[in-house]
Amino acid sequence: MSRAVAVLDVGGTHIRQAWWLSGNGLRARRSRPSPSFRRFPGVSVAKLQDLMVQDLCEAVPESPDAVAGISFGAALDHRSGLVYASAPLWGEHSEPFDLRGALRTRRPDVDWHIVNDVTAALLHAASAPARREHRKVLLATISTGIACRTLDRRRDVIPVDGCGLQGEIGHLPATASLAGAPVELVCDCGVRGHLAAYASGPGIARMAAVLQEREPDRWERSVLGRLTTDGASFETALCRALDVADTLAAELLDAVTAPVADVLRTALCLDPEIDEAVLTGGVVLGLGEHYRRSLLDHLTRQGLYLTSERSPEWVERRVTVSGPGEADGLAGAGIAALAELRP
């Protein structure tokens, strides 16, 4: 008999919610805005955290043996549920927050299970029949924030370091350039020159602003520029401009995928047992094959030493884009919770 788990996927923009039943998937989905620093400017982080705990607790109905699985968009210790930081939710704040402890204090009747949102997405993606024979699966999410995880399927484990972390690539040092000159931008965490400063959803919008400032005439003549001037959202304008091969839009996309390609190239070089690198997140799903093609073009121009020359298909067949619903943090939260409940 399937056990129902209340599952929540907390991102920098939205909290999604559903019921997860093993073997029956997700039921009764709904969504609402996250209590983030962008939604409530000027509100203290402590208050934002309290609002988050209140929201999550109210989302789980009272019932005997209630179980909740949470996919949480933050750098957190997977051994304890301690949240270290979440730039999309709390900006520059980096004081640890015991999310699991706060939830248990307010709702001790609920069995709480917390994983990082990228971990949850990876658990769901790796459960697909086509990936069951893989040795390792890497999943990278490019969205409001950026991170990745690698699952060792042979041991059924996502290894973590001494702080319970793995794959926080969004806050690695990175470089970017536009219109032939370097760009230096500040990440949401407050540090200059992080990968997420250039390649996350907000980072791409900031890079577009730099390109508009540096190349105003080209911007006005471009499809991307005309669409945004006519009132289209930046995300919609970028996708439509790429669909019609707008050169300025392609230049922008190549600039923001370059630092992501640098990280992916290094990962595949250091660990050739990664049989698939799955790309997901709002940016990737929105741009689809445009994003993957730009990334692979970088890996073709500057690939793995000798391997890219002698066996170019080795890299290409490993880099994939998840389809809608293939890497769902809600499903992953349910998978993780049920795995912890097993004897």
- 290 shares its domain with 334: no
Between 87 and 82, whose confidence is greater? 82
Asked if the model's pLDDT at residue 215 lies above 80, the reply is yes
pLDDT tens for each residue of 291-301: 999 999 999 99
Helices (H), 158-246: 195-199, 201-214, 216-221, 223-229, 234-243
Handedness of CA 283, 288, 323, 127 (dihedral sign): negative
Domain co-membership, 317 together with 333: no
Q: At what angle do helices 289-301 and 234-243 cross, to 10 degrees?
A: 70
Q: Where residue 2 falls among pLDDT bands split at 50, 70, 90? A: low
Q: Cβ contacts of residue 176 below 8 Å, gap of 6+?
A: 182, 183, 185, 198, 199, 207, 255, 256, 258, 259
Q: Domain count of the chain?
A: 2
Examine the domain organization and report whether 221 and 268 are in the same domain.
yes
pLDDT of residue 1: 43
Are 148 and 100 found together in one domain? Answer: no
Q: Are residues 72 and 150 in the same domain?
A: no
Query: Is 232 inside a domain boundary?
Result: yes
Which pLDDT score, from 0 to 100, does residue 342 have? 60
- Residue 17 and residue 163 share a domain: no
Tens digit of each residue's pLDDT (9 = 90 or more) over 170-179: 999 999 999 9
Give the domain extent around 101: 4-116+327-341
Do 95 and 236 lie in one domain? The reply is no
pLDDT for position 127: 92
Q: Is the pLDDT of residue 116 over 80?
A: yes
Residue 254 lies in a domain: yes
Assess if residue 122 is contained within a domain: no
Domain check: are 100 and 166 in the same one?
A: no
Position 62 in a domain: yes
Q: What SS3 state is found at 33?
A: strand
Are residues 204 and 275 part of one domain? yes
pTM (predicted TM-score): 0.89
Is 124 within the bounds of a domain? no
Pair 147, 272 in one domain: yes
CATH code of residue 44:
3.30.420.40
- The one-letter code for the residue type at 82 is L
pLDDT at 151 over 60: yes
Q: In the numeric block, which tokens belong to residue 224?
A: 């991307």
Residues near 153 by Cβ (< 8 Å), separated by ≥ 6?
Answer: 126, 131, 132, 134, 135, 136, 137
Residue 177 forms part of a structural domain = yes
In tens, the pLDDT along 54-70 reads 999 999 999 888 999 99
Is 25 inside a domain boundary? yes
pLDDT digits (tens, 9 = 90+) for 224-275: 999 999 999 999 999 999 999 999 999 999 999 999 999 999 999 999 999 9
Residues 149 and 294 in one domain: yes
Of 150-154, 221-225, 339-343, which gets the smallest average pLDDT?
A: 339-343
Residue 173 placed within a domain: yes
On whether both 96 and 35 belong to a single domain, the answer is yes
Mean pLDDT of 131-140: 96
Confidence of residue 26 (pLDDT cuts 50, 70, 90): confident
State the chain's mean pLDDT as an integer. Answer: 93
Mean pLDDT on 129-142 = 95
